[in-house]
Amino acid sequence: MTKKLISIIGPTAIGKTSKSIALAKIYNTEILSCDSRQFYKEMSIGTAVPEDSEMAEIPHHFIQHRSIIENYNVGDFEKDAIKKLSEIFLENNIAIMVGGSGLYEKAVVEGLDQFPDIDPKVRENLNTILKHYGIEKLQNELAEKDPEYYTTIDQENPRRIIRALEVILSSGEKFSKFLNQPKPKRSFETIKIGLDAPRQIIYERINQRVDLMIENGLVDEAKSLYKHKSLNALNTVGYKELFRFFEDEITLEEAISEIKKNTRRFAKRQMTWFKKDEDIRWFPYETSAKEISEFINKKHLS
């Protein structure tokens, strides 16, 4: 039997964690997280990591296994995840992956484009420009050097812009030239299961989750991490808004409102990414794991 990776995807707060655990129980297997913010051990409340009781039910991997001070990128995750899958597949024909970080999910399923080595000084210089002149200067440079790529990305995401520019400046080639190269063939088949809901329900679930995070101590967690605010890992919704509160730029109420608004925007971007993938089989978020497993068994395992 071909090994199968069941990938559970969808917007934040849709219920992916509970669904993945229920499916893992059905198939008696293990779960890989591809949520790029749940990797960090210092960030618990703001990243909505599974409860200890949930992780005790099923083996989980790539949750709080790194520190925010470590440099851990999507390429590192791809290598680690493929290695872990090979170990799981020795004992089981099925594994489950869950998370809303589309690029990280894609890295495991399809592999990454290969890029040239980057001169660290180039990256350092770009970060200095961002710090002193803001994102607009970098936006303009990328729009000039690679307009094709610039029109396809989230132009407010400094990491994406810096990543493209560092490749352009190090190689002398457009970033878009390195995209969509032939990828390695995976030894497993991926079954993509998407969870969705009407937009208003998603937004209500997001608002409720943010309120719960605040009740559970997100402000104190963010305060303990404030000294590390310049780290890439903390350029994250839920933390960066509270950092502004600590700096007296906004009130706590305004920070909470901003967290909700920015999380809603993030969910919208997630769905824009996922809806482009025609291989995803979408289910209403309240669909039972049993019903989803029946679809999987009939369509992919029979």
Which pLDDT tens digit goes with each residue over 178-237?
887 777 789 999 999 999 999 999 999 999 999 999 999 999 999 999 999 999 899 999
Distance (Å, whole) CA 96 – CA 195: 15
Domains and CATH numbers, the chain: 3-112+183-301 (3.40.50.300), 120-178 (1.10.20.140)
**What pLDDT is recorded for position 120?**
85
**What pLDDT is recorded for position 252?**
98
Which pLDDT tens digit goes with each residue over 1-45?
799 999 999 999 999 999 999 999 999 999 999 999 999 999 999
Number of neighbours of residue 174 by Cβ within 10 angstroms: 16
Distance (Å, whole) CA 173 – CA 299: 44
- 70 — pLDDT class (breaks 50, 70, 90): very high
Number of neighbours of residue 190 by Cβ within 10 angstroms: 17
Percent of the residues in the chain that have a pLDDT greater than 70, as a whole number = 100
Sorted by sequence, the CB contacts under 8 Å of residue 232 that are 6+ apart come out as 159
